[in-house]
Amino acid sequence: MSFCINPVCYKPNHPDNDENRFCQSCGSQLELQGRYRVMRLLSDKTGFGRVYEAYEQDTPKILKVLKENLYHDAKAVELFQKEGNVLKQLNHPGIPQVDGYFEYQTREGLMMHCLVMEKIDGPTLEGWLKQQQNRPISQEQTIAWLRQLAEILVLVHGQQYLHRDIKPSNIMIRPDGQLVLIDFGTARELTRTYLVKVSSGSGGITAISSSGYSAPEQMNGLAVPQSDFFALGRTFVFLLTGRHPLDMYDAYNNELRWHEHTKNISPSLLNFIDWLMMREISQRPRSAEEILRRLAELENQLNTPIIPVIPPIPTAAATVATVNVVGNTKTEMLTPPIPTPQVPPVVCLPTEEEEKHKIPPLFALLAALLVVLGLLGIVAAVTRNPRFASSISYGQAPEKKGKVDYFPYQEGRDSQGRVAEFNIAVLSVEYKWLLGSTFRIKHNDQTISLDGLQSNLEAEGIQRIMDNPSEIISVGTASCEGDLKAEEARALERSKQIQLLVKKIFSRVRSVEGYRLLNLGQFRRSDCQPNQDSTAYQRSIIIVGVRKKSQGVVLDEALRNRLEKKPFADFKLEDYSLGSQDKFKTIPSNL
């Protein structure tokens, strides 16, 4: 069936489209460039565009079309066109072949941006591991895949490009076992001007990042070749553990604790992958060629075979998979996991003696009622006592600045009595973090990205509201749902996402000299319910402005003093897992 790509077509899959050159619903052309017929929509959930399956005669293709709401976004159009230009310059089985970029006009005159490329017949590494029930890959497979991807990066970096978005969902597997690096829409050319900007830290560079995989410097828009190596290492953390990197992140110590989740992997190989992900750029590999050299040395040391083994998709019975890689064939038998038998629960019946002394249900009910009434009387007496009533008082009240809840500057003191002033802004109470998400926002019944807030906040005059801070602190929190460590990692990532937004908004505010992160971790109050907020700003997006007064003031101590002595609204540090004195700390943005 021919599919119409006109975004306003009311019936793009009209049954009569197959036998016609024009859509029978809207009249737009169905044969693009006189060559391609679109058959079906594959995905509309990508960041930049929709993805379709198309055919050039009998050859399947992938058609990517920029989303209509980005047509007038010059940066989005540039990134979209760049993918085609980059792929044309790279000729390798590990990189999709591209037919080219073109513009297509609908019947209504809407100009659409299109890119046609080779269709890879296979899953992504993310999808493939899910098919394997998230069973980690072997040591041999790790070395083989590391080699393949390093060889691809030799070519990409050799052509003076950075990929900037390496992750399991951007790597596919061909039927012959060859890995393919896809989605070059975020690739960046390593021009002399770009390298000068990176070395000087002068900014002006688009920040592209993927949660859990992007390097620290890339979060600030300063990607270098070693940023791709960092993402490569994080990809193999996922493949060797079957877990997302953020699920193993220790937010308090700011380290990834992943070795303990691997099995039958040499410490030398684990250390090799850690080398790719070192915090400092200078401590990572200098080039993809160095990765290949060190990998060859490691392979000789481990005496591992070079033939990768790709497990097949599990079925109800044992499955035999034969994979041909670089002219060699290897067969492996996989046995499906044995289901755990269901053991019926043990039911304990009361003895005759227990039955004799059992309290009648009516008496038990009356006794419970008396206890509850007594407790209510105690609570009433306590709350009438002024000494106790003051402990549940509301903190600093907000000033309404449009949709922003603003708490003016209040001073805080460090342990030496040195002073700094802090204000607080809740960036619109209508926007709250989506439960379980790291970068999605809930606005009424809609889900949006954090970037969707930018224009609204600028319209509210957030730069003026914050009143000339010298630093801005982005606060990360997470609700009480989920594992503590995973949610603390989520809170840290949220603070980074807020910081990216804040930097865009305050980049031209002269008073702002620096940025910090504050990870408060998971909300841990005993009455917390995952689907219901216990405080006014439990899931809100919060920033803190800083005006330093005393020279040498210890900022963390002064901020903590401000939040404890002069809290805003019903906020309490003690409600958060990282709010205690020994865990409370801000992180400068260069970390």
pLDDT tens profile 47-85: 577 889 999 888 889 999 988 888 888 888 887 887 777
User: Is the per-residue pLDDT at 277 higher than 70?
Assistant: yes
What's residue 54's pLDDT? 92
Range picked from 102-111, 260-269, 328-337 for highest mean pLDDT: 260-269
**Residue 298 class from Cβ within 10 Å (0-12 exposed, 13-18 middle, 19+ buried)?**
middle
Lowest mean pLDDT among 71-80, 269-278, 305-314: 305-314
Mean pLDDT to the nearest integer, 542-570: 91
Q: How far apart are CA 416 and CA 414, in angstroms?
A: 5
Structure confidence at residue 430 (pLDDT): 72
How many CB atoms are located within 10 Å of the residue 223 CB? Answer: 29
Spatial neighbors of 123 by CB under 8 A, at least 6 apart, are 131, 172, 173
Task: Judge whether residue 424 has pLDDT over 80.
Answer: yes
Contact 63, 51 (CB under 8 A): yes
pLDDT higher than 50, residue 335: no
Over residues 163-169, the mean pLDDT reads 89
Torsions phi, psi of 161, nearest 5? -125, 150
591 has a pLDDT exceeding 50:
no
Mean pLDDT score, 189-193: 40
pLDDT digits (tens, 9 = 90+) for 356-401: 444 455 555 556 666 555 555 554 444 344 333 333 345 788 888 8
pLDDT, tens digit, for every residue of 118-135? 888 888 999 999 888 889
pLDDT (mean) for 244-257: 87
Read off the tokens for 466.
């914050």
pLDDT at 4: 94
> Regarding beta strands 111-118 and 49-56, do their DSSP bridges make them parallel or antiparallel, or are they unpaired?
unpaired
Identify the pLDDT of residue 182. 86
Look at the alpha carbons of 455, 493, 272, 126 in this order and tell me if their dihedral is positive or negative.
negative
Write the DSSP string, 481-513.
Answer: SS-HHHHHHHHHHHHHHHHHHHHHHHTT-TT--
pLDDT of 527 higher than 60:
yes
Structure tokens at 290: 């160095």
pLDDT, tens digit (0-9, with 9 covering 90-100), for 528-552: 776 677 788 888 889 999 998 888 8
User: DSSP letters along 432-447, please?
Assistant: EEPTT-SSEEEETTEE
pLDDT over 70 percentage in the chain:
76
Mean pLDDT value across residues 86-110? 86
For position 408, what pLDDT does the model report?
Answer: 93
Taking residues 420-446, what's their average pLDDT?
78
Q: What is the mean pLDDT of the chain?
A: 79
- Of the candidates 13, 18, 76, which has an alpha carbon nearest to the alpha carbon of residue 64? 76
Lowest model confidence (mean pLDDT) among 184-198, 238-252, 436-450, 550-564:
184-198
More confident residue, 371 or 171: 171
The pLDDT assigned to 126 comes to 92
Collapsing DSSP to helix, strand or coil, 73 comes out as coil
pLDDT at 224 over 70: yes
d(CA 231, CA 276): 8
Please tell me whether the overall predicted TM-score, pTM, comes out greater than 0.75 for this model. no
Q: How far is CA 169 from CA 182, 183, 388, in A?
A: 9, 9, 55
Measure the CA–CA gap between 2 and 415, rounded to whole angstroms. Answer: 72
CB atoms within 10 A of CB 555: 20
Task: For the chain, list the domains and their CATH numbers.
Answer: 17-118 (3.30.200.20), 125-334 (1.10.510.10), 399-588 (3.30.1330)
Lowest mean pLDDT among 275-289, 351-365, 467-481, 517-531: 351-365
230-253: average pLDDT: 92
% of the chain beyond a pLDDT of 90: 35
